[in-house]
Structure 1
Amino acid sequence: MMMQLFGIRHHGPGCAGSLREQLETMQPDIVLIEGPPDANAVIHFVRHQQMTPPVALLIYAPDHPHRVAYYPFAVFSPEWQGIQYALTHHIPVQFIDLPQKHQLAIKQGDDDPKSPRESGLPVPQIPSDPLLWLAQSAGFKDSEQWWNYLIEQRQNHTDLFAGILAAMTTLRQEWEQTYPPNLDKPRDRHQAMREAHMRKMIRQAKKEGFEAIAIICGAWHTPALTEPFPKVKDDNTLLKGLPKVKVNATWIPWTYDRLTLNSGYGAGIESPGWYHHLWQSHWYRPSQGKQATAVQVDHVQPSIPMATGWLTHVAHLLRQEEMDVSSAHIIEAVRLAETLAALRDRPLPGLPELNEAAQTVLCQGEAAPMGLIRQKLIVSDRLGTVPDEIPIIPLQQDLQKRQKRLRLKPTAEKKTLTLDLRNPNDLARSHLLHQLSILGIDWGIPQATSGKGTFKEGWVVQWQPDLAIALIEAGRWGNTVGTAATAFIVAQLEPSQSPLTLATLTSLLDRSLMANLAVAIAPLIQAIQTTAALSKDLLALMQALPALVQVVRYRDVRQTNAQIVMQVVDGLVTRICLGLSQTCRTLDDDAAQRMKVALQRTHRAIKLLRVAQYQTAWFQAIKQMLEHKGLNSRLSGHCCRLLLDEGEIAPPEAARRLSMALSPGCEPADSAHWLAGFLDGSGLLLIHDDQLWQILDQWIATLSEETFTTVLPLLRRTFSTFTQPEIRQMGDRVRHHSSPAASPDPIAALNAVPNPQSETKYRQQSLTTLSILLGFH
């Protein structure tokens, strides 16, 4: 009986290629792989024609969808190649790690009562990367670079796995002497249980009569799986009485970006795109039927030297970005990379040497293009595919059918979609993306579109592997995307849930209409009507109105029935207009600011409706509010501005009110707040209305130095809201136009004849004052 251990890095092209060679030599009759036994039933899909890595095994608990485990695979993953070999040669292949039905049930964390952290004992800081010891002893700064040069780019693979086993055995002995294992610690106990289960499965294979057993596992575990094993009783004691949950297993597409360490993946690597290139350069062989020695991934000529092929890819990428890169550049870059490798005593250029050569020669010393090279090549946005026959939940099946029908293929690349909602296919796409968004599956993110057309809708779509989990979690709401989204909306209205605000309800209604969830509309309308009838908060009513108006305004584009929404809008507008004057009588500055924002939004919404009776009632309500003497100064100024902009009051009347607000009998702070409300967001009035300009000028001229300093911060904030062209025109007006001397009568000041002798002095003072207001001093 022969048993051989293959200690590997979970994603390494050198390990994967060496493993295939060793398996061809060994000719095992069973292959055991570190992985979840829960997924043994779906291993055979690896040989399916539609299965293209990167992909991942997904193990999840149907009753607890948030409990999941991923097992990603790339074409250069040794486990993937081990499975391929076994299936190609028609020999059994099994996963032997501790089943996820136990791992997902075991509570993770260090909350054990015997933990040193809770007992008050000092907790040793255990490094997370034991291989760093070996890397540093060999003169490398990190274990990734050390492993790349020693294993992945190794030219001679003779006795590679025997060397890995010897190195790991010595390393684990030193490690466990420095940090003795403690089964009371969750981390140590978890590792011990995993290795005990792997030994149990090896014993089972021997018991079943297999003579040549190949065991593929992480290099760190190889010493624990070397015979002689611990006693069977000890392993069984570790595994006895483990909790468990029901789990399902499936395959899902994965991306190289999710294989990186930066993604949070524990066994991640720095450069999956680079590893893919190494696999193709060294180990790629075109498939030849069932006896192929490797999986055919891309039609790339393996005879091209590794460095030349990589820098050629870099050159193609830079040319796509309209950068000038010639064949001569590639030749010089290859020579530089090989020279750097020789100076560093490396057998071949590695990624550091190729990056330095690319930046120096192809990028002409610029660092910025290297970010693009890392994103597109070193990491890569490659997305795998899985067969249609993969067992998935009904919700996923429905989504896949709609994706095909709507020609909306999920990709890892960010794509911008501009949908024409007049087109039935684009409208259906919009409905799907909105329905997924309601379920928390953010495949698409809404984007603003240029132009004034209401029929356009912008999205940025990008499929992420995590969305597969979100789909599984959303499966509890229904078997199709539409019914699941509807059920989710309706569930928010259940009496057992916390009461929703009016603004939240109208937002849900808006989203439901955009998602074409007809069944959810009626209960939402009922909930909005009930909440609005019981609400005494006028501000909440005003905040709810804009979303409803959007629904009514764009009903033709989205083909929705807006009549039912108009009933709610009619009631809200009536209540707002009737209660506005009374609500705004006594508001402090903070409440007045919130009300001002609500006024602006409500004003825009009522204008958007284009219903004459609503506008008449609205303007009448604002006029009534403006007549209250106790009205907050900021609100008073803003209401005056709204009525002036809409032609409800004449410019002379606005000038009269401004003059009264800035009269000497008013507190300077109240005057400044009135002015802030009046000028909020636009200075065009001051530029084009001489009368208003003169009134403001006269008021500032009458302020004492102390009072001016007091109101200056507020005035500065007001003027800071103006656009740069408006500020420039104000400066030009002061610079090029004369102004009369201060006069108590602003109307008379307009007709006063300027004094040539005082004009220069006045203009200089005006420029200084304006500079202070605009924040230039």
Structure 2
Amino acid sequence: MMWQTICQTLKDGQIDPRNAMVVCGGFHLFLDRDDPVPPPEIPQGTVYTSVVPYSFFRVSELAGYAAGNRAPQYYQLQWDLAAEGRADDLLAEHVVAVVKRARREGEAASSADAISVSQHARMLASLRGRSSPVLDDIHDAIMTCCCKGDPAQVGQYLRKAIDAVDIGTKVGKVTPELGRLPIVDDFHRVCAAAGLDELLTTERRTQLTLDKRNADAAKQSVLFHRLAYLQVPFAVLLESPQSEFASGTLFRERWQVQWSPKVEPALVEQNLYGDTIDTAVVARFREEFAADELHAGRTCHRLVQTLDLDLPELVANVEQACCRAIDHDPRFTSLAEALHWLRVLDQRAGLRGLDRQLLGDMLVRCYDRACFAIPEVASVPDDQQPEVLSGLLTVADCVLRDSSGTYDRDLFAVHVKSAAAASPVPFLRGAFLGLLTELRVLEPEELAREIAAFASASSDVMARAGDFVDGALAVSRTSRLVGADTLVRALDPVLRSAPWETFLLMLPRLRAAFERLHGAQVESIAGQVAEFYGLKEAESFTELRTSAGAAAWLARLDLKVAEILKAWEV
């Protein structure tokens, strides 16, 4: 097909083959020019042609390009120095660059090493019958002079430095005279306007921390969010805003930015949505928004996206859709997800000038409907339980953080009680009762009686005790410490009465339950266990930081000293 295309292009353009040049891969030179099989028909559709800039790394062997150059930056340096009349400086400049990079990678390399490498490379070249060192001589000299041991074991950082300096990170540019698709041209224009044009000249990863209270940083943040939304692999969000107003992290984002040859093809794919990044984002957003309109959680997430993507013209429409979805979506997990995103919006409302009254109304309505939907998830299957648990924690967090009485605490408690009474699933029942304990609606002793009741149940029911405890600890926070003694006393009869096979069945979930605890909680419960079994005679333990044999000798010495002091009547 390639040969036929070349011939047809020459014919259509009435070009003498002696005046034409074909740029292709070396393998294509061996194509069968007399191949009788006709090429496949080109499918119907719009064809776009775009020239994409390449980079040193992409034309290197290390990138997997079989016909690639093993050291693009080295040979570029050789060419540039020769053009400047400084060809003899190639060895020194390349070796110094490798030594500097090796130090950055953690290798103990110095200026003396650079001098030794240069001298050694010249000697190797002379021994091999060359007038000046080539790249192989330089590599061998670097490993000989700088690697202090087996290269396979201690030469990794050095190898990494050599590859980095050999290959480089430069990126080419497409001349504006050639022309680009509108969306690609808009990408370069917007990047230049945001002060990011330097990032397009290298393939090096760069991390940027943006404070969105700064106008320039806010502009960059919007651009990064838009490119990420369009699935253009240019910027990745590493750290998103939190809720700490005092520390300023609500306005802070951290991004990792890196240009690659995949950027412009990805932009070309979005050309169907619009000629600019702005129009492509709006068109794609409208398309996806229409598909999510009946899902309260995803619709409220779209409202958050309108802020990140800076789409003020869509905010009113999305707000109305959020209201409709909240009022008509009966699913608890969807409503809990919507509640989460609305709370995120509430934190950012002052930053972006949202309607606080409408937002507050949506929050209360979403909370109320989520509470009413709780009994519907009392018996969901195992694969849906993590999502339900996350939703319960979201709704409970609203109540626990509410100091103004905005949310109806009793409404949540009543429906959690109803779900607990109806749930046949030990994990969920434990979670419901654990939430009631956390809200101080249920006393820790009542939760303990529920756990202790497993001791007198059948083996099949007793084996699910671990599930119940896991659910309770999954939602409890302060009550884990306050009720530690009660929990230990409730679990003891269950463990004592469980047959060995039953104990083995409940053990994995019990272990999972206690793995949810952090250090202070584990210490509190461990202390209660020690006291309960009479192992704690003092207020604190001293960790043994020596061997058992040494400890025994210390005990003998202590006893001998006590005898001597007694004889001295001290």
Measured against the shorter chain, the TM-score band is 0.7 to 0.9
- 2:560 maps to none
- Distance in 1 (CA, whole Å) between partners of 2:159 and 2:415 is 55
Asked if the contact 1:416/1:459 (under 8 Å) is kept, the reply is yes
- 2:83 maps to 285
2:57 is the alignment partner of 1:257: yes
Asked if the contact 2:451/2:491 (under 8 Å) is kept, the reply is no
Q: Quickly say closer, same or farther: Cα 1:360–1:238, change in 2 above 3 A.
A: same
- Distance in 1 (CA, whole Å) between partners of 2:409 and 2:478 is 26
Shift of 1:356: 3.4
Asked if the contact 1:549/1:609 (under 8 Å) is kept, the reply is no
Q: Quickly say closer, same or farther: Cα 1:373–1:578, change in 2 above 3 A.
A: same
- 1:354 maps to 138
**Mapping 1:629-708, distance limit 5 Å:** 630-649=423-442, 653-663=443-453, 664-666=455-457, 667-680=461-474, 689-708=484-503
- Distance in 2 (CA, whole Å) between partners of 1:486 and 1:531 is 21
Select which of 461, 482, 486 maps to 2:282. Answer: 486
- Distance in 1 (CA, whole Å) between partners of 2:448 and 2:406 is 29
Structure 1 residue identity aligned to 2:393 = Q
Structure 2 residue identity aligned to 1:444 = A
Structure 2 residue identity aligned to 1:464 = S
2:362 is the alignment partner of 1:601: no
Asked if the contact 2:466/2:509 (under 8 Å) is kept, the reply is yes
- 2:4 maps to 193
**Mapping 1:35-434, distance limit 5 Å:** 190-193=1-4, 196=7, 204-205=15-16, 251-261=51-61, 263=63, 265=65, 267-281=67-81, 284-286=82-84, 302-321=86-105, 323-341=107-125, 349-365=133-149, 366-374=154-162, 376-387=164-175, 391-409=179-197, 410-411=199-200, 412-434=203-225
- Distance in 2 (CA, whole Å) between partners of 1:247 and 1:399 is 20
Q: Quickly say closer, same or farther: Cα 1:214–1:708, change in 2 above 3 A.
A: closer
**Mapping 1:513-524, distance limit 5 Å:** 513-524=307-318
Asked if the contact 1:195/1:224 (under 8 Å) is kept, the reply is no
Structure 1 residue identity aligned to 2:196 = L
- Distance in 2 (CA, whole Å) between partners of 1:519 and 1:215 is 49
- Distance in 1 (CA, whole Å) between partners of 2:368 and 2:215 is 37
- Distance in 2 (CA, whole Å) between partners of 1:562 and 1:697 is 51
- Structure with the bigger RCO (C-alpha within 8 Å, sep 6+) is 1
Shift of 1:658: 1.4
- Distance in 2 (CA, whole Å) between partners of 1:248 and 1:536 is 46
Which string of whole-angstrom CA distances, capped at 9 and with x for unpartnered residues, describes residues 120-139 of structure 1?
A: xxxxxxxxxxxxxxxxxxxx
Shift of 1:445: 0.8
- Distance in 2 (CA, whole Å) between partners of 1:730 and 1:308 is 65
- 1:72 maps to none
Q: Quickly say closer, same or farther: Cα 1:242–1:358, change in 2 above 3 A.
A: same
- 2:568 maps to none
Asked if the contact 1:509/1:525 (under 8 Å) is kept, the reply is yes
Shift of 1:347: 6.4
More helix, by proportion: 2
- 1:178 maps to none
Q: Quickly say closer, same or farther: Cα 1:363–1:610, change in 2 above 3 A.
A: farther
Which string of whole-angstrom CA distances, capped at 9 and with x for unpartnered residues, describes residues 230-284 of structure 1?
A: 9xxx899989999998766565443212223454657433332233234335xx3
- 2:348 maps to 554
- Distance in 2 (CA, whole Å) between partners of 1:271 and 1:550 is 49
- 2:563 maps to none
Which SS does the other structure have where 2:265 is aligned? Answer: helix
- 2:542 maps to none
2:513 is the alignment partner of 1:718: yes
- Distance in 1 (CA, whole Å) between partners of 2:41 and 2:313 is 48
Shift of 1:314: 0.6
With structure 2 as the length reference, what TM-score do the two structures score? 0.76
Which SS does the other structure have where 1:419 is aligned? Answer: strand
Q: Quickly say closer, same or farther: Cα 1:575–1:277, change in 2 above 3 A.
A: same
- Distance in 2 (CA, whole Å) between partners of 1:699 and 1:725 is 25
Q: Alignment identity in percent?
A: 21
Structure 2 gap ranges (5+):
538-570
Q: Quickly say closer, same or farther: Cα 1:200–1:219, change in 2 above 3 A.
A: farther
- Distance in 2 (CA, whole Å) between partners of 1:214 and 1:449 is 51
- Distance in 1 (CA, whole Å) between partners of 2:258 and 2:310 is 22
Q: Quickly say closer, same or farther: Cα 1:215–1:460, change in 2 above 3 A.
A: closer
Deviates more, 1:601-610 or 1:326-335: 601-610
Asked if the contact 2:448/2:490 (under 8 Å) is kept, the reply is yes
Which string of whole-angstrom CA distances, capped at 9 and with x for unpartnered residues, describes residues 489-530 of structure 1?
A: 112245xx6977443333333222211112233333344444
Which string of whole-angstrom CA distances, capped at 9 and with x for unpartnered residues, describes residues 359-387 of structure 1?
A: 33234343231353255312211123445
Q: Quickly say closer, same or farther: Cα 1:253–1:593, change in 2 above 3 A.
A: closer
Structure 1 residue identity aligned to 2:277 = V
Asked if the contact 2:292/2:298 (under 8 Å) is kept, the reply is no
Structure 1 residue identity aligned to 2:71 = S
Shift of 1:596: 2.0
Q: Quickly say closer, same or farther: Cα 1:198–1:591, change in 2 above 3 A.
A: closer
More strand, by proportion: 1
- 1:117 maps to none
Q: Quickly say closer, same or farther: Cα 1:422–1:203, change in 2 above 3 A.
A: closer
Which SS does the other structure have where 2:233 is aligned? Answer: coil
- Distance in 1 (CA, whole Å) between partners of 2:463 and 2:15 is 87
Q: Please, what is the CA RMSD of the aligned residues?
A: 4.2
Asked if the contact 1:431/1:515 (under 8 Å) is kept, the reply is yes
Which SS does the other structure have where 1:422 is aligned? Answer: coil
- 1:455 maps to 251
Asked if the contact 2:209/2:254 (under 8 Å) is kept, the reply is yes
Asked if the contact 1:502/1:540 (under 8 Å) is kept, the reply is yes
Which SS does the other structure have where 1:458 is aligned? Answer: strand
Which SS does the other structure have where 2:250 is aligned? Answer: coil
Asked if the contact 1:625/1:631 (under 8 Å) is kept, the reply is no
Deviates more, 1:433-442 or 1:387-396: 387-396
Asked if the contact 2:332/2:377 (under 8 Å) is kept, the reply is no
Structure 1 gap ranges (5+):
1-189, 287-300, 742-753, 756-777
Larger Rg: 1
Shift of 1:348: 5.3
Shift of 1:488: 1.2
- 2:554 maps to none
Structure 1 residue identity aligned to 2:391 = A
Q: Quickly say closer, same or farther: Cα 1:498–1:659, change in 2 above 3 A.
A: closer
Which SS does the other structure have where 2:96 is aligned? Answer: helix
- 1:761 maps to none
- 1:510 maps to 304
- Distance in 2 (CA, whole Å) between partners of 1:565 and 1:390 is 50
Asked if the contact 2:72/2:166 (under 8 Å) is kept, the reply is yes
- Distance in 2 (CA, whole Å) between partners of 1:466 and 1:678 is 48
Q: Quickly say closer, same or farther: Cα 1:307–1:197, change in 2 above 3 A.
A: farther
With structure 1 as the length reference, what TM-score do the two structures score? 0.58
Which SS does the other structure have where 2:396 is aligned? Answer: helix
Q: Quickly say closer, same or farther: Cα 1:318–1:584, change in 2 above 3 A.
A: closer
